Amino acid sequence: MFNVKVAKRARSIEYAIRDVIIYAKALAKAGRKIYYLNIGDPVAFDFDTPEHVKQALFEAVRSGDNAYSASEGLPELRLAISEKEKRLNGVDVSADEIIVTSGISEGIQMVMAALVEAGDEVLLPGPTYPPYISYARFFGGFPVTYRTVEDNGWQPDIEDLRRKISDKTRAIVVINPNNPCGALYEEKTLKQILDVAAEHGVPVISDEIYDQLVFEKRFVSVASIAKDVPVIGLNGFSKAYLMTGWRLGYIYFHSPRGELQELKECIEKEARIRICASTPVQKAGIAALKGPQDHIREMVSKLRARRDYVWKRLNEIEGISCTKPEAAFYVFPKIHGIGSRWKTDFDFVLELLRETGVLFVHGSGFCPVYGAGHVRGVFLPPIETLEKALNLVERFMEKNG
């Protein structure tokens, strides 16, 4: 008889966004119509990868660009990323300070692996994107969430952040534009976070995957205003360039005084042991950055209209309130019956799914403290689909009011 021992770190992995799909699949198998409002994948709806990006992939494969590439990424892609960051975000980072990854999720894993040891702490916005919690724990650390304020557009609470930093803190994570709340952090708030980081001598990890999907206000990159604070930037091609399944992202290291040099060298070692990101996809990434950008403006316009519709409808439903998202494609409404009508937000999500076929993600999956009592949904589907889903939600809330 075999005794296969599974590591504790693997048993504890959670990813709420995809974990809830298990329940939806069982209903779908029984013939139920499911409204998937759980995963932030625009390509799963009526957004499509730009044609010139597809053609670049086809051409790369046909012309023989199918071998391993450098573990850090193709030099021409790293240069194109450097130019993009300077042009769009005002971040001066050279190609040598960029590592190409298989999606931003691999970048998160690599950074956490290089920074976190047993007992270390990482400060995360609460609520937060779940892989930051999971990877901090996976490498023996403790994710510590600092409060973001729902009544203030989910802006970070600087005093709460300041109280929670300690001599065990290894980094402060900023997710801006924010997933799951759709918040866009103000420049003043970002400067205050940088001040805290400078006081305590810790780097900032800045996740900026939604940097081009903003509505009314202006996006400010942390690295563009960081001065002497080292910033580890994370970004990718999934969202703005509609390449979700292609898995292409990058890490950059912004430290004018070289504090991140050893960290970069260690993450380069991690990049080597996983060989490289897909070579043909990297070729397509170059085309994405250097080719026409018109689709982004069109995408933002469609998303803005859908945001306006969903935000208005949610606030019209008795028992639900929702802060207006300023970027990305998420809503994070509060469900007022949780704690009375439903014991937890997870219970609400499951009951709503069973009765209506509408699938949200429980807010506690993004932070058991600051996400509890909420759900996350996407406003990626066409308005006609969103209307059908929200009609079902409204009837469900009326029935359970």
User: How do the domains of the chain map onto residue ranges?
Assistant: 8-48+295-399, 51-290
Q: What is the mean predicted confidence (pLDDT) over 262-279? A: 98
- In this structure, how many other beta carbons lie within 10 angstroms of the beta carbon of residue 301? 11
The token pair that represents 360 in the structure block: 């949200």
Q: Would you identify the CATH topology of the domain 51-290? A: Aspartate Aminotransferase; domain 2 (3.40.640)
- Per-residue pLDDT, 6: 87
* pLDDT of the residue at 83: 98
Question: What's the pLDDT tens digit per position in 272-315?
Answer: 999 999 999 999 999 999 999 999 999 999 999 999 999 999 99
Predicted local distance difference test score (pLDDT) of residue 14: 79
- Write out pLDDT tens, residues 111-122: 999 999 999 999
Q: pLDDT tens digits for 9-63?
A: 888 777 777 788 888 998 999 999 999 999 999 999 999 999 999 999 999 999 9
216 pLDDT exceeds 80? yes
Q: Give mean pLDDT, residues 213-235.
A: 97
Report the share of the chain in percent with pLDDT over 70.
Answer: 100
In CATH, the architecture of 8-48+295-399 is Alpha-Beta Complex (3.90)
Do residues 129 and 102 touch, judged by C-beta distance below 8 A?
A: no
Share the mean pLDDT of the chain.
Answer: 96
pTM as predicted:
0.95
> Mean pLDDT over residues 388-395, rounded?
98
% of the chain exceeding 90 in pLDDT: 93
Fold agreement (8-48+295-399, 51-290): no
